[in-house]
Amino acid sequence: MTQLALVIDLNVCVGCHACVTSCKEWNTSGEAGPLPDLNPYGAGTMGTFFNRVQTWEVGEFPLTETVHFPKSCLHCEEPPCVPVCPTGASYKRKEDGIVLVDYDKCIGCKYCSWACPYGARELDASQKVMKKCTLCVDRIYDAGLSEADRKPACVKACPTNARLFGDVHDPQSEVSVAIRERDGYALMPEWGTRPANQYLPRRRTGPSLP
């Protein structure tokens, strides 16, 4: 069984938001329709995004560390958002584990967003349906693209290679090796959602001889 996922390397993320803009650009241009930005140049601006980069501070000044933290749908292996959906619009694909919303079946009741502890789902204020990261499902299988381009837009955009993409159920994959060798971890493990996306922690780097 395949489980596609992202592994995000917090050790090298510099918080440049290239993944945010690249994600927005790709997903607002596709056949699912635009991701709206309401009132973009006035007061009360509001937009729908699949991916955000946040900045956190760890420690007490002056011994602080800045952590840039990209956040998108984690494509949980036990997604709590899926069984609560009354219409079946929210589903997890058997073939690759991607959690998707069928925008033609969604009634916009918002219940799935209440059932996600990570706040990964956003209601499209124009189309009135729930939206979320698709792992660029309309890109990663596109035979018209070269092999190297069949990756999520955020992964392609990252200038520091902080975003790895692959099958976390294949022990030999790049993502599995990274999780195994660099202590990859899941967010909010207390809820038993088993996120497929994992994060690689910061590393202490010291002087080394060539």
What is the C-alpha separation between 15 and 19, in angstroms, rounded?
9
What is the C-alpha separation between 113 and 177, in angstroms, rounded?
32
Q: Which is nearer to another protein, 53 or 140 (CB)?
A: 53
In the complex, minimum distance from the CB of residue 139 to another protein, in angstroms, rounded to a whole number: 23
| Residue 28 binds to another protein (criterion: CB under 8 A) | no
What is the C-alpha separation between 90 and 81, in angstroms, rounded?
7
Give residues 115-134 in contact with another protein (rule: CB under 8 A): 115-119, 121-123, 125, 127-129
In the complex, minimum distance from the CB of residue 77 to another protein, in angstroms, rounded to a whole number: 16
What is the C-alpha separation between 65 and 62, in angstroms, rounded?
9
| Residue 78 binds to another protein (criterion: CB under 8 A) | no
Stretch that binds another protein, among 26-34, 65-73, 148-156, 167-175 (CB under 8 A): 65-73
In the complex, minimum distance from the CB of residue 76 to another protein, in angstroms, rounded to a whole number: 13
| Residue 67 binds to another protein (criterion: CB under 8 A) | yes
In the complex, minimum distance from the CB of residue 165 to another protein, in angstroms, rounded to a whole number: 19
Contact 106, 124 (CB under 8 A): no
Which residues are at the interface with another protein (CB under 8 A)?
17, 20, 44-49, 52-60, 66-67, 69, 71, 80, 83-89, 105-111, 113-119, 121-123, 125, 127-129, 185-191, 199, 201-202
